[in-house]
Each structure stands twice: as C-alpha cells, then as structure tokens.
Structure 1
Amino acid sequence: MTAQGLRPRSWFGPALVFLALLALWWASSHGDWISRVFLPTPEATLDSLREGLLTGDLLAYSSATVSRMLQGWLLASVIGIGLGAVIGISATARTYLQPTLEFMRPLPASALLPLAISLFGLSPNMVLSVVAFGAMWPVLLATVHGFAAVEPRLQEVAQCLQLSRRDFVWKVGLPNALPDILAGMRLSLTVSLIVAVVGEMIASQEGLGQAILLAARSFRASELFAGIVLLGLIGFASNALLAKLERRFLKWQQP
C-alpha cells in the first residue's frame, strides 16, 4: 500500500477525536451543564471569531503575537545553536558549563518577567527578551547533545584529514546534530508562543494575550474562547509548517 493510501486513514482517528470534543462542547453549552457566562456555545465562539477577524482587532492582535513569537524564536534559535555548538564541541566546556545550564534551564521564563521589566520597562523589547530566553533552552540543549554525540571515529577521521575546528563543525558536527537541532526548534516554537502570550498578559502589550485577558475580565466568554481557538490554530499551523520543513531538511535520513 502506498503512502498516499495511508493518509486518509491516518487522519481519521484525529478527526474523530476532534469531532467528539466538539460534540461534547456543544452538548455542554446547549445543555447548560456549565453556565454560558463561562462556556459559550461553539456557534457564539465562531461568530466572535469571524467578527473579530473581519471587523474587529483580532487580526491586528494575531499579527502582533505571531510577530513577537517569530522574532523571539529566531533570536533564540541563533543564540541556542551558536552557544550549543561551542559548548557541545568541547568536552571541557561541557564539564564546566553543564551544571550552570542545568541550574538555569528549569527557570520559568514568566518568573523572570519582573527582572526584565526592571531592565527594559514595559516595552516590546522586554517581552521579546523573555520570549527569547524561554525559547532558547530547547534549542541550546538539543544542539549540545547533537554535537556531543558525534561518533568518536569521525573525530579521528577529521584529525587524519587535518580538518580545522570550523570545518569539523560545519561538515561533520552540524549534519550530525541537525536532527536534534530541528527537534529542539520545533519545541522552542511552541514555547515562544506560550511565553509571548504570557508576556502580553503581564506587560499589557498589544496581542492575543492582552485580548484574552481583557475578555476574561469583562466576562465576554465568546471572545475569550475565540482568542483561545485562534491561538490553537496559530500553534497548529506553525508546528505543521516546521514539521514539513524538518522532513525536507532530513530527507537524506528517510529510507
């Protein structure tokens, strides 16, 4: 059976789960299991989503959040890959820096918002710095692992060929670490979206986070759920696009 023949079946299960959750939502809201003040109907949510995108500010808010997410993610990726390559290629650097990395890695980015506010004020740069910090760790640690896992015999071959450190990183280390790096970047993209929304909520920056918070404070449940649905769509689309790019970059690994 061809891969094309498997695709409809591979989508059937996820589609069935999605429809079941949608049916449960519809039954819960229409059956008044939960007050509509807190749980709007799917139809009301769809109406708020359509109205917000066509005539409201949802499109501008979405653009601001996506821009903040992508900027923080790109900055985190550049810093994470650069530092990860430097640390991963050197056993000495890993020995000295690994404890510090393990100490800083679990720190939640949202907990650093007060520090970022004191340094940058309530500005877009403050949110961007926190997004980059939170999204950097998956890329950094994945890059360190990828470079550290280079086959020792490849290092011996590189020494025999008298490859410089730069050539070894570019021609041997990076291809070996690429699967780990791309996996870390996919996780980092999700983290950047989460931290961007949290930053917008706390720092009152324009975006979906601020829109959702204001809707919750005003008990506009349909607008709140519309924002949540939009965030889910952004996360799903960005992850699907990056997964497609990952398969393309790693095509040489496929049998």
Structure 2
Amino acid sequence: MRWGSRLLFLAGSLAVAIFLVWLWQLAADHRLVNPVFLPGPDRAWKALMTGFSQGDLGAKLLATIERMFWGWLIASLAGAGLGAIIGSSPTLRAYLAPTLEFLRPLPASATIPVAIAIFGLSDGMVLVVIAFGAMWPVLLATIHGFSAVEPRLYEVMRALGFSRAKVIWKVALPSASPDILAGMRLGLTVALILSIVCEMIAGRNGLGNWILLSARSFRAPDLYAGVILLGALGYATSAAISVFEQRLLVWRSRAR
C-alpha cells in the first residue's frame, strides 16, 4: 500500500506537470502572448538541447552548481557549529538574541553592495553572499533544535561525568538533527537563489548570467531554457538532500 500510494502520487504529479506544459504550448500556438516574450515549450526545449550540444550551457550549469555547493557547505558548517554553541547555552541565547533578531530579517541580497566594496566583483564575494544568506536557516534551526532538548538530560549526563562536548555529540546533536537537516534543505534553496542573483549582478559565468544576457538580447527560448534548467536543478538538489535526510534519520522510523 505504501509503494502504491507513492506511485499514485508520482503519477498525479506527472499528470499535473504535463497538463501545465500542454497549456503553455496551447497559449504559444494561439499567440495569446507575443512569441517574442513567450515561446512554446518546444522552442525552449530545442534551445536547451542546442545550448548543451553547441553552446557552453553545460559549463555555465557546472559553474552555478559549484558556487551553490561551496556556499551552502560553508553556510551549513558555520550555521550548525554556531547554532550548537548558542543553542546549548541559555546564557548565550539571552545575550545574542537581540543581535540575531537584528540580522535575521536582513535580506542577503542587500549585503551584495557591501560585499562588492570589500571583495570586488570576484568569486570570493559571491561565496560570502551565498554563505551569509544560506547560513541563517541552518543557524536558527540548529539553535531551535538544541534549545528544545530536555534540560534535565544535560544535567544527568554531566552528573555522570560526561564532558560538555560529549554531551553535545551524544545527546543534543542526535535530538537536533531533524531541525538541522530541515535548515540545510532550506539553506540549499537560498544558496541556489543567491548564486543566480550574484551571477546577474556581478557578471560571473553561470546560469544567472545566461538568463540575464538572453533577456537583454530578446532570446526568449534561451531565457526559458535557463529557467527550466534552474527548476530542474532545484528539484534535483532538493530530492538529493531528502534522500540523504531519510538515510541519516532512519533511526527515527525504527524508533516508531
């Protein structure tokens, strides 16, 4: 029944996607929107294949993936590390709460001019912006996960002679891991968005620059090909981290 429900869900999702593509093709064929601005999915797919076979779309895709991955990895390590330290200490949470609340709503894109002034139009600037924006979901999720651990567990473990580091590793981290992984998944989406924004603003080689130049040149099929590729990349990365999360948290399903 479980596999049957999954197959039914996948079939329904595929049917909805096919229906939307059909509507898109119908609108393009009947020229409900100027073809200069809305080519059909057939033209967008042809542009996508041409970009891979005859152009450098593959290299641009790899450049975007590389920036997204390294920025997300830095953000995940920094966010999980800082979140563990802050979340396991009520004193630190009390002192740092105003600062975190001040920085948390700050849009990461607003830091781009500052990053450009400090690092210039470089890949280092892009990594700093991506890491800063993607760190917050991981940081806040980790703080929440560690702060939600029963305080008596800390007291019992310390009474048994365990060090603070061992308490965090043995008790707090497994308990907070679902929150941390949820924050990492959200951070991966933020990393992809910021990669595209930085490539557009800083003119770095990647999908963002491809989409921007296509729009400026009125190459609508290439533009939509880039957007389709972005959607596929976002879906693939989300599915990959979902599988990783299920494998890592297999103990939860066994505990139930």
TM-score class, shorter = over 0.9
* Alignment-mate amino acid for residue 228 of structure 1: V
How far residue 194 of structure 1 moved from its aligned partner, in angstroms, is: 0.1
* CA deviation vs aligned residue, 1:7-27 (integer Å, no higher than 9, x gap): 211112211221121111111
Q: Which residue of 2 aligns with 1:126?
A: 125
Q: Which residue of 1 aligns with 2:27?
A: 28
Structure 1 distance, partners of 2:60, 2:104, is 30
How far residue 157 of structure 1 moved from its aligned partner, in angstroms, is: 1.7
Structure 2 distance, partners of 1:17, 1:224, is 23
Q: Which residue of 2 aligns with 1:200?
A: 199
* CA deviation vs aligned residue, 1:170-198 (integer Å, no higher than 9, x gap): 11110011000000000000000000000
How far residue 135 of structure 1 moved from its aligned partner, in angstroms, is: 0.3
Q: Which residue of 1 aligns with 2:3?
A: 4
Mapped contact 2:158–2:164 kept (Cα < 8 A): no
1:86-105 pair list within 5 angstroms: 86-105=85-104
SS at match of 2:162: coil
Q: Which residue of 1 aligns with 2:246?
A: 247
Please say if 1:77 is aligned against 2:76.
Answer: yes
* Alignment-mate amino acid for residue 19 of structure 2: A
Unpaired segments of 5 or more residues in structure 1? none
How far residue 139 of structure 1 moved from its aligned partner, in angstroms, is: 0.3
1:1-255 pair list within 5 angstroms: 1=1, 3-254=2-253, 255=256
* CA deviation vs aligned residue, 1:191-226 (integer Å, no higher than 9, x gap): 000000000000000000000000000000000000
TM-score, structure 1 normalization = 0.98
How far residue 156 of structure 1 moved from its aligned partner, in angstroms, is: 2.5
* CA deviation vs aligned residue, 1:143-173 (integer Å, no higher than 9, x gap): 0001001012312221221211000111111
* Alignment-mate amino acid for residue 34 of structure 2: S
TM-score, structure 2 normalization = 0.97
Give the root-mean-square deviation of aligned CA atoms: 0.8
SS at match of 1:196: helix
Structure 1 distance, partners of 2:110, 2:5, is 45
Structure 1 distance, partners of 2:35, 2:104, is 40
Structure 1 distance, partners of 2:80, 2:133, is 14
* Alignment-mate amino acid for residue 212 of structure 2: L
How far residue 137 of structure 1 moved from its aligned partner, in angstroms, is: 0.2
* CA deviation vs aligned residue, 1:113-142 (integer Å, no higher than 9, x gap): 100000000001101100000000000000
Structure 1 distance, partners of 2:23, 2:98, is 47
How many equivalent pairs are there?
254
Mapped contact 2:158–2:167 kept (Cα < 8 A): no
How far residue 63 of structure 1 moved from its aligned partner, in angstroms, is: 0.3
* Alignment-mate amino acid for residue 215 of structure 1: S
* CA deviation vs aligned residue, 1:20-60 (integer Å, no higher than 9, x gap): 21111111111100011000111100000001011101100
* Alignment-mate amino acid for residue 213 of structure 2: L
Structure 2 distance, partners of 1:235, 1:117, is 26
Mapped contact 2:43–2:221 kept (Cα < 8 A): yes
Structure 1 distance, partners of 2:104, 2:15, is 37
Structure 1 runs (4+) greater than 6 angstroms displaced: none
Unpaired segments of 5 or more residues in structure 2? none
Structure 2 distance, partners of 1:154, 1:24, is 56
